[in-house]
Structure formats: structure tokens, C-alpha cells
Amino acid sequence: MVAGMSLETAIELDCVANGVVGIKKEKEWVELHFPGYRMTFQELIPVDDRIYDALTIKKDDDEHIVYFHITDWYGIFEPIDLPPECAKNAT
């Protein structure tokens, strides 16, 4: 199964310091893997103790939903402590 095409394969972004960075990295991921697509809808999906972001993206008549696991950084506005290897990727 292709990464991000279901809750079971939701994308887990590395080195996310807070929600602002997470949203930026979601957009970068979509641009990298689906060039030319634009987001048409966004939905927050809570499942048990996990939170997912579902982005509906579209290009012409082709539409997909990409899922991201965002529990670790959803609703966080202040930078969180990250491992040293993440320092240069935190913004």
C-alpha cells in the first residue's frame, strides 16, 4: 500500500518542532510527491488517542486524500525539544 493513502499508512513527519512547522512540512511533502496538486479540503480525524490530518488534494480530475499522523505536534505552538539531529530541520 502507498504511504499516506490510508490511516494505516499515514505519513509521520520527522523533526517537527510545533504545529506551524508541521503544516509547512505537510505542504512540502504534498508538493514533492504530488507536484501540481492543490489542497481542496482538510479534515482533522481523531482515532482513539491518535490525531490525523486528512488533506484532499486535486489536479485536474485526479483527486486523492493524503493522511498524516500529527498527534505529537497538533496544537503545539511553542517549539518542542527535538533530538540534535533535527536542529537544522526544525524550522
The full set of domain ranges for the chain reads 7-89
Instruction: Note the pLDDT of residue 6.
Output: 94
Q: Residue 46: which of 4, 75, 17, 23 has the closest Cα?
A: 75
Report pLDDT digits (tens) over 5-26: 999 999 999 888 889 889 999 9
d(CA 5, CA 9): 6
Taking the whole predicted model, whether its pTM rises above 0.75 is answered as yes
CB 55, CB 26: distance < 8 Å: yes
d(CA 34, CA 21): 20
Specify the DSSP class assigned to residue 46. E
Instruction: Note the pLDDT of residue 77.
Output: 82
Residue 3: pLDDT band (50, 70, 90) is: confident
Q: 7-89: which CATH number, 2.40.128, 1.10.8, 3.30.1300, 1.20.1440? A: 3.30.1300
Once rounded to an integer, what is the mean pLDDT over residues 26-55? 96
Q: Which residues contact 60 (CB under 8 A, 6 or more apart)?
A: none
